[in-house]
Amino acid sequence: MLLIGERINVITKAQRMAMENRDPKPIQQLAKDQVAAGANVLDLNIGPAEDDGPELMDWMVKTVQEVAEVPLCLDTTNLEAIRAGLKAHNNTWGRAMINSTSGETERLNTFMPVAAEFQCDIIGLCLTGSGLPADANERAAIAVDIMTKAEEVGLPVDHIHLDPLVLMLNGNQDQALQCIQAVEMFQALSDPPMKTVVGLSNIANTAPAAMKGILTAVFFQMLRDAGLTGAIIDPLEKEFMEVVRTGDPRSVYPAEHVEKTIKVMRGDIMYAHSFLEI
């Protein structure tokens, strides 16, 4: 299972200041902590980085790989920053990854050729400019477009990690099952089966803090049972990492709560913030 650590992110004040000041210590410590906790890829989210993107990404890649012998996932919309990061990346520990392209024509035409040029991995988000995908079938159709573009530019399909697009459960309950079904469908698109990845924490957005853990853990296990091969996660969440280790949310959460949460993900029970108390 590919576990992409999400903690190095410009949104976090301490990390943003470290990036602005080119202070390696907070970034390197977080890199080491995530790898020690079980991450085998690290996401480097520098945001748009419009002013100094290439220089910043070059510095970030070199700074992190001084202390973490894992491949890196380059997370920015700045194409030149992506190029700079790919040039700086040490491939001794695996291929770099671009986070991400999508099924939208401009993004496909922008990021997929760069992935082919460097023969790196890339996340293919099943989203287009037409709006959110309605169901698993639409996600699969977008996935085919992403795979077709990869073949066109000379990127092997085993370099693609299809992302079915996880939406928050609150207000989008039906989409949880559609994501799970999409991961199942993706397996049939090629032989060997396609690689898949999700931004896992999205499922618990707006949920009360006390519920985020079980929602994330149960959804992850359901996706893994469907064939998921990777997830962008917080490896410093100890309970979640225990679920990763055991393969069973019941190792952390009460069995009756897990069963109820599974029913919510399947749509058998209506989601509400208080569903575990009812």
Q: State mean pLDDT over 200-228.
A: 97
Of the candidates 103, 106, 56, the one whose C-alpha atom is nearest the C-alpha of residue 80 is: 56
Interstrand relation of 121-125 and 97-102 (parallel, antiparallel or unpaired):
parallel
Q: State mean pLDDT over 44-62.
A: 96
Domain range annotation of the chain: 2-266
Q: What is the pTM of this model?
A: 0.97
At 139 the pLDDT is 98
Matching residue, tokens 């209506």: 270
Percentage of the chain lying above the pLDDT 90 cut: 97
- Given a contact cutoff of 8 angstroms between Cβ atoms, the answer to whether 126 and 102 are in contact is yes
Asked if pLDDT for residue 269 goes beyond 90, the answer is yes
At 36 the pLDDT is 98
Asked if pLDDT for residue 262 goes beyond 90, the answer is yes
Give the chain's radius of gyration (CA, Å): 18
Cα–chain-centroid distance for residue 140?
A: 18
Asked if pLDDT for residue 189 goes beyond 90, the answer is yes
Q: State mean pLDDT over 1-17.
A: 97
Asked if pLDDT for residue 261 goes beyond 90, the answer is yes
Q: What are phi and psi of 5, to 5 degrees?
A: -70, 130
Tokens of 27: 């970034």
pLDDT digits (tens, 9 = 90+) for 94-148: 999 999 999 999 999 999 999 999 999 999 999 999 889 999 999 999 999 999 9
Asked if pLDDT for residue 278 goes beyond 90, the answer is no
Q: What is the sign, positive or negative, of the torsion defined by CA atoms of 220, 222, 224, 230? A: negative
d(C-alpha 274, C-alpha 278), whole Å: 7
At 134 the pLDDT is 95
The CATH H-level superfamily of 2-266 is Dihydropteroate synthase-like (3.20.20.20)
Residues recorded for the chain: 278
pLDDT digits (tens, 9 = 90+) for 69-98: 999 999 999 999 999 999 999 999 999 999
d(C-alpha 242, C-alpha 230), whole Å: 16
Q: Hey, how many other C-beta atoms are within 10 angstroms of the C-beta on 125?
A: 24
d(C-alpha 278, C-alpha 275), whole Å: 5
Of the candidates 6, 21, 153, the one whose C-alpha atom is nearest the C-alpha of residue 75 is: 6
Three-class secondary structure of residue 45 per DSSP: strand
DSSP of 99-152, one letter per residue?
A: EEEESSHHHHHHHHHHHHHHT-EEEEE--BTTBS--SHHHHHHHHHHHHHHHHH
Asked if pLDDT for residue 4 goes beyond 90, the answer is yes
Whole-number mean pLDDT of the chain? 97
